[in-house]
Structure 1
Amino acid sequence: MFYPSFFYRKPSRAVLLAASCLSVSALQAQEKQNVLFIVVDDLRPELGCYGSDVAITPHLDKLAEQSVVFQKAYCNVPVSGASRSSLLTGVYPDIVEGRFVDAETRSEKDLPGVVTLPLAFKNAGYYTLSLGKVFHHFDDRTDSWSESPWIVSPASGDWALYNKWNVWKTEIPEAELHPQSHRGPYCEAADVPDSCYEDNQIARKAVAELNRLKEMDRPFFLAVGFRKPHLPFIAPKKYWDLYRREDIKIADNRYRPEGLSEQVQGSREIFQYTRVTDTSAEDFHREARHAYYACVSFVDAQIGLVLDELERLGLADNTVVVLLGDHGWHLGEHDFWGKHTLLQQATHAPLMVRCPDVASGQSRSIVEFVDIYPSLCEVCGITLPEHLQGRSFLPVLKNPEAKHRDCAFIQWGKGVNVVTPEFSYAEWYDKSQSRVVDEALFDHRRDPQENRNAAGEKKYQKLIKRFKDFIGRKRQEIHLR
């Protein structure tokens, strides 16, 4: 049951520092451990290690066998720019203050001067590198890195150029591009090698950098950001051929949840691409899922190149590996495609952490993405900056059965969401952010797919009151001004 009075009782700084000191002796096989930080764009927990019987992800599944896999990890905001800024600063979004609220978020604008996760490692003597998409904008907080962030081409930092020049490897006539966005088809299965696509170039750059970093006389923090399975769903044909479209199951709840607030409209992102007509049609659902799975298998192969090189170089025994998707993604559930909701498909995301000399396992405890920053610092014996709002899940890395949080706190648009193991409660506000205009409660014990808003039922009113009280306190706690 939900007990909000003590959910987020923050431990004292002295307690956190003491835990940090203990973590060094408990986890570090050598004086300082390296960190390989892998973030994947729009990757929902549609992986073999998360129970998917469709997705073919052998490399991620192998990593999961050696890691603590967090089965209930949640982003704090379901959009890339804001999610990355939040987790890389260890600070919650704030829809009242306007901090970390949308795709175009820049952490240097919303929270200038704060010590980012990679900067904390850099200040501790680590050599820090950024390859691919780590921060949403490659030129955001460049002081975090020992070298300028590396991207495949300048087009990667400009959406208009990226979508027109750096995505599709087949020639697309201007007439076939979207008239407003100038983006092409939402999916593509070109019979070309992996090297034609950006993520393979990112993987090969990471392989080269690992070889260089090995020769340095200092620990490293290597952040690698892969773009797939972000739209457009493009991957070499061989990854499409791993799947039989007729065997792919589609969502059985392709309808709007009963009683859901009209503020929840779903993402419009997919409609910025061509070949998107009737998204409610079964054929579209099957093709889009096929395309998404192909991209997941493609990026799995690229991650495998990096992990295999880490092993070949003899670095795996002294490197912490973190892998996450920056948020979830609707694959036709409720006829939604994309992120941008407070439903579980958009907020539930994969997270796994492999630490040398620490047991692997499955954790069912709730963790939030703001917890990643303090956790990595404690694992590597780095003093925690004072500004952090997350909580280290180091005890879970030591014992996957340990409990971490009772709930996750998520924000999007004009709404906030609290997720517990049994319930998901959301409320939406007016323009002043002061008055609740709508709410939703999903009882996951009887409605795990979130098909029916139960907020109006009498038996839940005391529970909803406790959620509301908790949200009020939490919103005050995360407000920095």
Structure 2
Amino acid sequence: MKYLLSIIFTLTIFGNDKPNIIFIAIDDLRNELACYGVDKIKTPHIDNLAKHGLIFDNAYCQIAICSPSRTSVLTGLRPQSTKVFDLTTHFRDTVPDVITLGQFFKQKGYITQGFGKIYHNSLDDPRSWSIKHFMSKNSLYQRAENQQLIKNQVKAAKEKKLKGHEFRFATMGPAYESADVPDEAYPDGENTKLAIKALKGFVQKKQPFFLALGFSKPHLPFNAPKKYWDLYEEDKLDPPAISHRPLDSHPRLTLTKSGEVRSYHGVVKEGSLGAEMSSKLKHGYYASVSYIDALIGKFLQSLKDTGLDKNTIVILWSDHGFKLGEYDSWVKHSNMEIDARVPLIISSPWMKVKGVRTNALVELVDIYPSLVDLSGFTVPTFLEGTSFAPLLKKPNTPWKKAAFSQYNRGSKIMGYSVRTAYFRYTEWRLVKNNKVIFKELYDQVNDPLQSRNIAKKEEVKIVQAELHEMINQQWGLK
């Protein structure tokens, strides 16, 4: 009762009967943060948010690729339901009448506004916003020589009459950049600057708000102001914890050939990236993470300065994980643990205990129902996730037995993956008839790096059968 009264008292002071929501989306962020027990990358502001909230140690995306993952989060539906598995399909073409997260709060009287990468780049959803979404048009590259390189690439691509993906891959520019420019020069910096301005404007309004701020970094290209590159000594960066592919894994299905990073200028198209390029890319990734961390710090400080923090829920999440040379591979695009596991942090002014963590298995598809639940609304029945609101009160509450993700290899093969407290199991199936063509089983307790696929071992047959049935039940397969 005291807990409820304190919420009511705070809401009454600020004139709203509902909490505000800050929704921070980050692209390609690994769980390599001090608040997750890894202090390689300097992220003091994200770590500070964690000290005032709840850290989810076992949060998983539903598919490790930008647009499908974000679509799942923002619709509250799993990829199998949205039918969005690529970077070009818009969910309004597959589930046209779905009520998105932003749209839900808009319908409930909230001002909804977005800045930066929330949906995937041009695949925005106007129905989600009360105020038109803003995406900075600042150049991804600030160095004059890189801007000229892009112009030359575009000219050459047009002369060759390239279109679509071929045009895009021929005009990618370098994979990294360090420019001595202010934070606002790059798109993420300008997006944050304008989000802060909008935040200050909410002080005078009577309505609650849902403000979404999305960061493109640390997605490739790893471009960040020089001062963030200067935080690290490149020759002292650690090599990947595991450099070989999992033993007994599939040569084509388990991992990709890192095509995304190879599309950038100066990166070899085949074979090993080499020690020098690998070190430079890792340096750029670290710098990019510290850059967006600084921007998050500026934004959250403004939230505090306005006093709005006393009535605002803050949630921070990444759309999927990322490989930095692990398994001799780069970027995401797999069902491996390193790509499916993500950072997830939530902070509420009414949490009794802060700076705590939970081992509960949660999924990004749970974000939508959780925010609805925490705001005092009835959770829509069409949502496919589960509200983790009870974990804010009791982080050790018994929770889900499994988290599910999937990843396709073209249109003919789908990989279905289940993560339990002890195992990650993946079945690669033919889409046309659900025939299982390859299995992967990893012991996450004794082999957390997933160095060996043990699916063929006789002693795991019973466990594997149970996990097989969990996949069948989750996706309605036979």
Q: TM-score, normalised by structure 2?
A: 0.89
Instruction: Find the partner of 1:342 among 327, 335, 342.
Output: 335
Q: Which runs of 5+ in 1 are unaligned?
A: 1-21, 154-164
Secondary structure, in 3 states, of the residue corresponding to 1:370?
helix
Partner Cα distance (1:139, 1:449) in 2: 35
How far apart are residue 144 of structure 1 and its match? 1.3
2:38 aligned with 1:52:
yes
Residues 255-270 of structure 1: matches in 2 within 5 Å? 255-261=244-250, 262-266=252-256, 267-270=258-261
2:398 aligned with 1:403:
yes
Of 125-134 and 267-276, deviating more is 267-276
Letter in 2 for 1:269: E
Instruction: Find the partner of 1:211 among 200, 207, 223.
Output: 200
Could you tell me which residue of structure 1 aligns to residue 97 of structure 2?
Answer: 113
Letter in 2 for 1:286: S
Cα distance, 1:25–1:386 mapped onto 2, change above 3 Å: farther
How far apart are residue 26 of structure 1 and its match? 8.5
Q: TM-score, normalised by structure 1?
A: 0.88
Residues 175-194 of structure 1: matches in 2 within 5 Å? 177=153, 180-194=169-183
Partner Cα distance (1:100, 1:27) in 2: 39
Contact 1:36/1:321, CA 8 A, preserved across alignment = yes
Could you tell me which residue of structure 1 aligns to residue 323 of structure 2?
Answer: 330
Secondary structure, in 3 states, of the residue corresponding to 1:189?
strand
Contact 1:92/1:370, CA 8 A, preserved across alignment = yes
Partner Cα distance (1:269, 1:38) in 2: 25
Letter in 1 for 2:89: T
How far apart are residue 383 of structure 1 and its match? 2.0
Cα distance, 1:336–1:202 mapped onto 2, change above 3 Å: same
Could you tell me which residue of structure 1 aligns to residue 364 of structure 2?
Answer: 369
Partner Cα distance (1:251, 1:421) in 2: 24
Partner Cα distance (1:198, 1:324) in 2: 19
Letter in 2 for 1:263: L
How far apart are residue 177 of structure 1 and its match? 4.4
Instruction: Find the partner of 1:168 among 138, 141, 146.
Output: 141
Could you tell me which residue of structure 2 aligns to residue 244 of structure 1?
Answer: 233
Partner Cα distance (1:146, 1:168) in 2: 31
Cα distance, 1:325–1:473 mapped onto 2, change above 3 Å: same
Contact 2:21/2:314, CA 8 A, preserved across alignment = yes
Letter in 1 for 2:244: Y
Could you tell me which residue of structure 2 aligns to residue 14 of structure 1?
Answer: none
How far apart are residue 129 of structure 1 and its match? 0.4
**Over aligned residue pairs, what C-alpha RMSD do you find?**
2.1
Contact 1:115/1:385, CA 8 A, preserved across alignment = no
Partner Cα distance (1:352, 1:110) in 2: 30
Letter in 1 for 2:215: F
Partner Cα distance (1:49, 1:279) in 2: 32
Contact 1:82/1:104, CA 8 A, preserved across alignment = no
Letter in 1 for 2:234: R
How far apart are residue 88 of structure 1 and its match? 0.6
Secondary structure, in 3 states, of the residue corresponding to 1:425?
strand
Could you tell me which residue of structure 1 aligns to residue 463 of structure 2?
Answer: 463
How far apart are residue 328 of structure 1 and its match? 0.5
Could you tell me which residue of structure 2 aligns to residue 145 of structure 1?
Answer: 129
Partner Cα distance (2:244, 2:86) in 1: 26
Letter in 2 for 1:443: D
Residue by residue over 1:390-409, the C-alpha shift from the partner in whole angstroms, topping out at 9 and shown as x without a partner, is 00001111122223212110
Could you tell me which residue of structure 2 aligns to residue 428 of structure 1?
Answer: 428
Letter in 1 for 2:321: G
Partner Cα distance (2:5, 2:99) in 1: 25
Partner Cα distance (2:419, 2:6) in 1: 31
How far apart are residue 104 of structure 1 and its match? 2.6
Residues 63-102 of structure 1: matches in 2 within 5 Å? 63-94=49-80, 99-102=83-86
Residue by residue over 1:96-154, the C-alpha shift from the partner in whole angstroms, topping out at 9 and shown as x without a partner, is x771212233221221111111111111111100111111145532111101111113x
Could you tell me which residue of structure 2 aligns to residue 17 of structure 1?
Answer: none
Partner Cα distance (2:272, 2:217) in 1: 21
Letter in 2 for 1:294: A
2:303 aligned with 1:307:
no
Could you tell me which residue of structure 2 aligns to residue 291 of structure 1?
Answer: 284
How far apart are residue 357 of structure 1 and its match? 1.9
Secondary structure, in 3 states, of the residue corresponding to 2:476?
helix
**Number of equivalences:** 445
How far apart are residue 282 of structure 1 and its match? 2.8
Residue by residue over 1:16-35, the C-alpha shift from the partner in whole angstroms, topping out at 9 and shown as x without a partner, is xxxxxx99778664221000
Letter in 2 for 1:356: P
Partner Cα distance (1:85, 1:394) in 2: 22
Percentage of pairs with the same residue: 36
Letter in 1 for 2:277: F
How far apart are residue 476 of structure 1 and its match? 1.8
Of 314-323 and 109-118, deviating more is 109-118
Secondary structure, in 3 states, of the residue corresponding to 2:179?
coil
2:119 aligned with 1:124:
no
How far apart are residue 283 of structure 1 and its match? 2.8
How far apart are residue 196 of structure 1 and its match? 1.3
Cα distance, 1:447–1:228 mapped onto 2, change above 3 Å: same
Contact 1:108/1:140, CA 8 A, preserved across alignment = no
Contact 1:84/1:134, CA 8 A, preserved across alignment = yes
